[in-house]
Amino acid sequence: MNQTEIIKNLPYKKPFLFVDELTEISENGIIGNYTFKKNEFFYEGHFKNNPITPGVILTETMAQIGLVCLGIFLLKDEILSEEKKPKIALTSNNIDFFLPVLPNEKVTVISEKEYFRFNKLKCKVKMMNEKNELVCRGTISGMLII
């Protein structure tokens, strides 16, 4: 399964799709990126005249790339054989934030699988900005159901 097929199988669409590209995919992890466009829906009210990307959106971006895309790749045989879209339930996250992300900023999410059993996936994730500075990092877990 290639990056286009993985993104096509995501259960999201604009304006709530935060995956532009997947650059590395393996059984043990995934790397992808997203550019936060200046006209994203959440900038209008977060914060007046000084927009920054909300932490919940950064967490969602890490979950979409680092957990859901990796989960789709890990379940590719079942998804392709049954032609079903996976259902995802986030079960926990613990994220520490270090730097803001501004409009028009590109971020890269790097995810490393900690474990995947009984369709529960837990990953260590981190987000880097274009200067290769750490924006945030933590762990995200979720259930993947076909």
**Residues annotated catalytic, as ranges:** 46
Q: pLDDT category, 88, cuts 50, 70, 90?
A: confident
Indicate which CATH number applies to the domain containing 24.
3.10.129.10
Q: pLDDT category, 48, cuts 50, 70, 90?
A: confident
The number of distinct structural domains making up the chain is 1
Separation in Å, CA 120 to CA 13, 143, 145: 23, 5, 9
Range of the domain at 81: 3-145
What does the alpha-carbon distance between residue 20 and residue 7 come to, in Å, rounded to a whole number? 9
**pLDDT at residue number 70:** 96
**pLDDT at residue number 61:** 98
Q: Give the pTM.
A: 0.94
